[in-house]
Chains A and B, each alone.
Chain A
Amino acid sequence: EPEVTQTPSHQVTQMGQEVILRCVPISNHLYFYWYRQILGQKVEFLVSFYNNEISEKSEIFDDQFSVERPDGSNFTLKIRSTKLEDSAMYFCASSERGGPKNIQYFGAGTRLSVL
């Protein structure tokens, strides 16, 4: 069964460093998403991406964050200068179509620890 894959599974970084989280969406999917989940809290939407453009972003997704589809298979989330409060599980998701009926499939996540 096709799945969303994320690397690395765990990333440890120092405060102020840049990190890039990588995702390979399901191959025929066209819509991509990043969510985060701080330990013990709810899953929060960060950004959605379609046709090489951001479709929507939340207030969490400030200038420190950026997303990119560098090639035909990868989708990345970059955090320019990490802060302690960026420590969370980051989930990538993809869907075949957009709109309300789209089912988003999630990857296993990258646990980011900022020290």
Chain B
Amino acid sequence: GQNIDQPTEMTATEGAIVQINCTYQTSGFNGLFWYQQHAGEAPTFLSYNVLDGLEEKGRFSSFLSRSKGYSYLLLKELQMKDSASYLCAVINQAGTALIFGKGTTLSVSS
């Protein structure tokens, strides 16, 4: 089976840096995705990791350690518009389905 854990809620202030952790247990691993979801809207793709290490994309970076079953999403220079849910997901072995965690709701305050 597959299990994905991430914190339910986090808070931070504008301009700060926040790290959202995700741990996973899967039968086989083919990659990990991060999506952003504003309330009432569609999940939007942020990043994909399949090899160990850090992937940087502007203010957002994502890290993966396959041996530890661990990933994090790092958000720098936080803005109010970054208030959203951040969804960690793994792709199944066949590459046909994303398995999502419950998501972390990030609240950014001024």
Give me the interface of A with B, judged by CB distance under 8 Å: 4, 33, 35, 41-45, 48, 55-56, 58, 91, 98-109
Looking at chain B's contact residues, the main secondary structure is: loop
Looking at chain A's contact residues, the main secondary structure is: loop
Listed by A's residue number, 15 A-B pairs whose Cβ atoms lie within 8 Å are A33-B97, A42-B100, A42-B101, A43-B43, A45-B99, A55-B96, A56-B94, A56-B96, A98-B96, A99-B95, A102-B91, A102-B95, A104-B45, A106-B43, A108-B41
Give me the interface of B with A, judged by CB distance under 8 Å: 30-31, 33, 35, 41-45, 48, 50, 87, 89, 91-92, 94-103
Q: How far is the CA of A102 from the CA of B103 in the complex (A)?
A: 21
Q: How far is the CA of A102 from the CA of B98 in the complex (A)?
A: 10
Q: How far is the CA of A106 from the CA of B43 in the complex (A)?
A: 6
Q: Among the listed B42, B94, B98, which residue makes an inter-chain contact with A55, where contact means beta carbons less than 8 Å apart?
A: B94
